[in-house]
Amino acid sequence: MAAKTPKRPPAVAGLGVDLAEVARIKRLAAKPEFLRRVFTPGELAYAGKSRNRFERLAARFAVKEAVIKALDETSLPLNAIEVENTESGRPRVGVKGRPGLQLMVSISHTASYAVAAVIAFKA
């Protein structure tokens, strides 16, 4: 019987971290064009269900910026990046047009700040 080759963990392609100020996102969210340019309809619906709407928007904004940093793609439109939650509440991020892209994300927020960290893996 041949020995099995151990599986290697996926190689990291990039890491991105971002901090967003909730008050800044609240100010910018007063402009509908900002909301359309940055967030997907699903993200807006998710945030709109909560009394801490702007904290949730700031957290998603931080994820989008962290994804751009992890992928090193500054031309990527913010609304092409979508943050969802699994049934357990864990965040999951996807990028339109990139079905095989593997990203890990962690988000945290307070009433004042939101932070996100994203790890991108090589395909």
In whole angstroms, what is the distance from residue 96 CA to residue 120 CA?
Answer: 15
Residue range(s) defining the domain that contains residue 16: 12-121
CATH number for position 23: 3.90.470.20
pLDDT tens, 79-123?
999 999 999 999 999 999 988 899 999 999 999 999 999 999 987
Give domain status of residue 73, yes or no: yes
Q: How many domains does the chain have?
A: 1
Residue 41 lies in a domain: yes
Who's near 109: CB < 8 A, 6+ residues apart?
22, 55, 56, 58, 59, 115
For residues 105 and 83, the answer to whether their CB atoms sit within 8 Å is yes
Does 100 reside within a domain?
Answer: yes
Confidence band for 6, pLDDT divided at 50, 70 and 90: confident
In a domain, 7, yes or no: no
Residue 26 neighbours by CB under 8 Å, 6+ apart: 54
Residue 109 lies in a domain: yes
Q: Is 4 inside any structural domain? A: no
C-beta of residue 34 within 8 angstroms of C-beta of residue 28: yes
pLDDT in tens, 36-76: 999 999 999 999 999 999 999 999 999 999 999 999 999 99
Strand, helix or coil for residue 29: coil
H-helix or E-strand spanning residue 101: none
Q: What is the pTM of this model?
A: 0.90
Give domain status of residue 6, yes or no: no
Least confident range from 23-27, 30-34, 99-103: namely 99-103
